[in-house]
Chain A
């Protein structure tokens, strides 16, 4: 059942190749053999090269439905490229990529169309002629119902990011891709936005892939933290802390320190 909502992000070059020749429905047949547990995301042997240099090199990744996965990594390690591939925005790839048909992206910049009012931005690209009430519900969910009629350029950074979240959520995605969505926010707004994303995820139950460089944010929100390095998932860390999580918890600090060390930041110097 879960397989029929999946759609391979088919590599352009390999379209004629024997492995990816089949369409979405027929291709789903061999997939359950390879993946016994239904996955929201299944990536195997993914390679993406820029000018002959593999930024992503035979990467494997599985995300369970409803799982919150954070993807950490130094800048330039290919984590944003991976997200763009999963979003279907980058098709110059080799390998197998299965993603839900219903997926949504929230980018680091809110990327709202400045010439459309907030509620029209939320409904943009939805099939049919959705009612304004649909947008209003989604905006209420992110606490932005008072700015429904505003022009995007009059929103504050936090408000714009919430509008972008509403635009993603209104698509009722099975997979929500977040590309450093809090990166451009100030510290206080970021805490609020992180909390909001945590709540929305618990309410919606969709799988989330959060790309970030903020270790604390990853430990705060994710079920599983992946560290990407040299084009592969180099390290995986389950986070079993109870929610809501407390950043002053010693176990939290321990996980944070462990991940920072993985990322090549020496936390010993900080502690001394």
Chain B
């Protein structure tokens, strides 16, 4: 019984003019809505972002210059820059960086191999999961830095214990993320692959591994962070070369300027590693809309 249509004989009323309402239309106060850009300050964002650190540096320099901050507590920024320049000029920083980079590279390569290998075994095979996952999860809870004394007994004081510590640190985050990546692959896609007639190996190659790649790269990022951390620990023990050695030496002579230079180098290397992984992600994950490069 509901009437959803107007009766055909109803007069066409012009709804824009309310002719039957004789009351004058009261004036409505209108305010202009300004575009958001016109309200912004003229100072560009990057400038505001850099202002903070620069101010901090200035404060630091001021404190050092006035003598409030003595050199054996913390050297002044100017002094640090000068020492950094000297260390670069005489080649000692470059050679220390080379040694340290080599250690990280070796540990990272080994750890990637072990971590990804184990994750593939336990991610792809149920037997592998039963055999591998429990021991790895147990070992994961041991703080790897605590193993340094044991590693020194096993491997001596040369390069081997340092690389071993980095390897150990790198292995677990990679294992966890690759394993989670494999197990997190969309079952709908696996089913689609099956319906397309892919073999088991075809499914692994075309569906599971590419699907696990974002997780694997996240793991690599974590691993890189831990690799530097492990390097710092490893190099503070019985090192005769590398950045850690420079730092230990500087500590003995109360050279806070050299220590800060070394810290800056560590930070710089970390940034560099992050940049490498980002580039890798951009290259390998270009299918993700977020990585089409902006």
Contact = CB atoms under 8 A, between A and B. Distances in A.
13 contacts: A87-B195, A88-B194, A89-B191, A107-B188, A107-B192, A111-B188, A113-B192, A114-B288, A116-B206, A116-B287, A124-B196, A125-B202, A171-B197
B8 interface: no
Contacts of B206: 113, 116, 124-125
B188 A113 contact: no
Interface residues of B, number: 21
A115 B291 CA distance: 12
B287 A152 contact: yes
A125 B287 contact: no
A48 interface: no
Contacts of A127: 197
A127 B188 CA distance: 22
Interface string B268-291: 000000000000000000111100
Interface string B155-192: 00000000000000000000000000000000011011
Given A114-B288, A152-B287, A154-B289, A124 B198 contact: yes
Given A113-B206, A124-B196, A167-B196, A151 B287 contact: yes
Given A111-B188, A125-B202, A153-B289, A104 B210 contact: no
Interface residues of A, number: 24
A111 B286 CA distance: 18
A88 B195 CA distance: 7
A124 B195 CA distance: 11
Nearest to B199: A125
Given A116-B206, A125-B193, A272 B1 contact: yes
Given A124-B196, A151-B289, 15 more contacts: A104-B196, A105-B192, A107-B188, A113-B207, A114-B287, A115-B213, A115-B287, A116-B210, A124-B198, A124-B206, A125-B196, A126-B197, A127-B197, A152-B287, A171-B197
Contacts of A153: 287-289
B211 interface: yes
A272 B192 CA distance: 45
Interface string A84-108: 0001110000000000000011010
